[in-house]
Amino acid sequence: MTGRRRLVELSHVISDGMTTLPGWPAPRITEWLTREASRAKYAPGTEFQVGRIDMIANTGTYLDTPAHRWAGGADLTGVPLDRLADLPGIVVRVPAGTRAVDRPLLAGHEVTGRAVLLDTGWSAHFGTDRYASSDAPYLTGDGAAWLVEAGATLVGIDSINIDDMGPAARGERPAHSALLAAGIPIVEHLTALDALPATGFRFTAAPPRVAGMGTFPVRAFAVLDA
């Protein structure tokens, strides 16, 4: 609690050896400088620790920029802060058992200028074999096209991928393609969306400004009026 505001954490913890996407490299978290080793470098009683992490960019809860999908698209340095931080947010509750989030499910919501967060409940399976199963929820290409037409600023989901990863999809990624072509950033692997109201909050998911990279982990969170 900060004053009259409440902060809600929406990111998964990144830990050594964790699985985000099955078959993709896990992060390795070590120490570059230990407290013990640092004592030889500083005055008596003064010590520091410097950690090191080796990971792929698609780890934990992360942001996709246009450069992730499109050559020449904006990378982490090119997406403006007004598409990543302090955005008015809306949560779309996806009915239990629904895989395909499509245009009819979205069309009743006011999404213009907002961060649209798809609450599928799938984050409950994060870190388990079920998380990557073929019945994971996703946004359809037509649903993504509607969000582009309606003027969404950012789109997030608490599932393994905003696109269908099942065998019938044949590796196609229509939601990524449509949203990122329109300059709409994507946040994947969100969690705790059930802790948010449908509206009345501000959303932030800002990565560091790393040149030449299209994806990177974020500290995603919402700010609610108390």
**Taking 80 as the threshold, does the pLDDT of residue 2 lie above it?**
no
Q: What is the mean pLDDT of residues 108-131?
A: 97
Helix (H) or strand (E) holding 146: helix 141-150
Q: What is the mean pLDDT of residues 132-146?
A: 97
Spatial distance between the Cα atoms of 6 and 66, rounded to a whole number of angstroms? 31
Kindly provide the b/e burial profile for residues 58-73, where b requires at least 16 CB atoms within 10 angstroms of the residue's own CB.
bbbbbbbbbbbbeeeb
The mean of the pLDDT values for the chain is 96
Kindly report the pTM of this predicted structure.
0.96
Pairing of strands 87-93, 115-119: parallel
Pairing of strands 62-64, 100-101: unpaired
Q: What is the mean pLDDT of residues 177-202?
A: 98
- Quote the pLDDT of residue 1: 46
Cβ proximity of 101 and 174 under 8 Å: no
Q: What is the mean pLDDT of residues 110-127?
A: 98
- Quote the pLDDT of residue 3: 62
Question: When comparing pLDDT for 166 and 93, which is higher?
Answer: 93
Q: Is residue 51 classed as helix, strand or coil in its secondary structure?
A: strand
- Quote the pLDDT of residue 170: 84
Percentage of residues in the chain with pLDDT exceeding 90?
Answer: 95
Q: pLDDT digits over 59-71, tens only?
A: 999 999 999 999 9
Q: How confident is the model at residue 89 (pLDDT cuts 50, 70, 90)?
A: very high
3-class SS shares of the chain: helix, strand, coil, % to 5: 20, 25, 55
Q: pLDDT digits over 167-186, tens only?
A: 888 889 999 999 999 999 99
- Quote the pLDDT of residue 144: 98
- Quote the pLDDT of residue 176: 98
**Taking 50 as the threshold, does the pLDDT of residue 47 lie above it?**
yes
